[in-house]
């Protein structure tokens, strides 16, 4: 029997969120879901993503809504001395500061790491940038699409005979947000021993170099420059969409045992014993010979008929869904992907935090805030003796 601990594993932590757009807000939302108190500091015009529309929900961009729940908003104009003083006081009280200004951009306000740490040596201060704080990258603005292009990802995405394509989501913003979260939690863990915080730096390009995993490793460890292969995998086959009678089915036989099972369920056991296809290296080298043999059999039935049988045989596969179908599938397998945040007129659906704990569940306390929705109470708290907001 387990006992749920109210408030989440990060309950009691105060996060001052000076970030905007995606990487920083995603990181701070994850921290907030796990119990941290997050104060979102916005300029008078609010986070840029508030206007990134369509689509919208009740006039607010769903982009903004997707990464800003469980936060309180205060609008501070850093051109105003009183607001700068409030921002500094917030940073002085915070356990964690997250920002994604250009490197050095907060120094003129006394909100850079060195300035904050001078009055708050226990602070864990996370900076997220596009290309790092070094002399070559600090001046470069960093949007995910630019990093997808510069990192090489786009050279790997799309039809081999067509143009490079971006991924359908800001993958490196999300990766950088996750890396920032890992960095913050690691620094907090060390703080338990030392009592001191530290500066955590994450940038999109470094996240891309790490996140390209086998593709960057192919070059640095193997001297091979990867190239665009459409939906094919450079090191595995079958590991791609294959056509059935009514559409494509993704089939991923990731090892020799799975390939043998696939051949059995397709009624082609002889393929598993064929020297051309015996091992993964053989199948990858001879994919042009193997693919038509698989497709000929797959075209005899629908993708969902094959899906049920192939999955039943223990071989990973799946249909190519739209986003709504993907959410429906997550519901079917018991992941409960949609949660309701807020109550009454403010209640709205949101995607569940993907981390599950046995004792300290994520919580969904506050819907994404309006600009300066909590400004009055936060300013009043900052002006009063120190206590939780």
Peptide bond into 33 cis (omega under 30): no
Distance of CA 283 to the CA centre of its chain: 33
Q: What is the DSSP string of 184-230?
A: HHHHHHHHHHHS---EEEEEHHHHHHHHTHHHHHHHHTT-------T
> DSSP string of 4-61?
PPTT-TTTT-EEEEE--TTHHHHHHHHHHHTT-EEEEEE-TT--GGGG--SSEETTEE
Closest CA to 63 of 75, 79, 46: 46
CA 59 to chain centre: 25
Catalytic residue IDs: 173
Give the residue carrying structure tokens 């729940």.
69
Concatenate the DSSP letters of all residues of 279-326 into one string. Answer: SHHHHHHTHHHHHHHHHHHHTTS-HHHHHHHHHHTT--EEE---HHHH
The C-alpha atoms of residue 97 and residue 86 are separated, in whole angstroms, by: 14
Tell me how far apart the alpha carbons of residues 374 and 385 are, in angstroms, rounded to a whole number.
18
Say if residue 238 is preceded by a cis peptide, omega within 30 of 0: yes
């Amino acid at each position: 029997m387990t006992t749920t601990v109210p408030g989440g594993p990060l309950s009691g932590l105060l996060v001052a969120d000076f970030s905007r757009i995606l990487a920083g807000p995603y990181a701070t939302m994850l921290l907030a879901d796990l119990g941290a108190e997050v104060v979102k500091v916005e300029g008078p015009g609010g986070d840029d993503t508030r206007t990134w529309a369509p689509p919208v929900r009740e006039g607010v961009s769903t982009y903004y809504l997707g990464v800003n729940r469980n936060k309180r908003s205060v609008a501070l104009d850093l051109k105003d001395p009183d607001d700068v003083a409030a921002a500094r006081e917030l940073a002085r009280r915070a356990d964690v500061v997250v920002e994604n200004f250009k490197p050095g951009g907060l120094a003129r306000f006394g909100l850079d790491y060195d300035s904050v740490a001078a009055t708050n040596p226990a602070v864990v201060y996370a900076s997220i940038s596009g290309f790092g704080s070094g002399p070559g990258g600090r001046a470069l603005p960093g949007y995910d699409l630019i990093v997808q292009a510069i990192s090489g990802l786009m050279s790997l995405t799309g039809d081999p005979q067509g143009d490079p394509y971006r991924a359908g989501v800001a993958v490196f913003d999300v990766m950088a947000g996750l890396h920032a979260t890992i960095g913050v939690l690691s620094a907090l863990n060390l703080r338990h021993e030392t009592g001191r915080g530290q500066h955590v730096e994450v940038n999109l390009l470094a996240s891309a170099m790490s996140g390209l995993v086998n593709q960057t490793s192919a070059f640095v460890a193997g001297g091979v420059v990867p190239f665009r292969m459409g939906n094919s995998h450079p090191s595995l086959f079958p590991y791609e969409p294959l056509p059935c009678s009514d559409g494509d089915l993704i089939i991923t036989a990731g090892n020799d045992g799975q390939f043998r099972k696939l051949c059995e369920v397709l009624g082609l056991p002889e393929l598993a014993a064929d020297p051309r296809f015996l091992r993964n290296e053989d199948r990858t080298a001879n994919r042009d010979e193997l693919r038509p043999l698989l497709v000929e059999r797959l075209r005899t039935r629908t993708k969902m008929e094959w899906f049920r049988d192939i999955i039943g045989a223990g071989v990973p596969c799946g249909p190519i869904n739209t986003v709504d179908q993907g959410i429906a599938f997550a519901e079917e397998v018991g992941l409960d992907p949609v949660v309701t945040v807020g109550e009454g007129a403010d209640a709205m659906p949101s995607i569940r935090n993907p981390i599950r704990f046995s004792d300290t569940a994520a919580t969904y306390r506050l819907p994404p805030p309006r600009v300066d929705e909590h400004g009055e109470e936060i300013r009043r708290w900052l002006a009063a003796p120190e206590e939780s907001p």
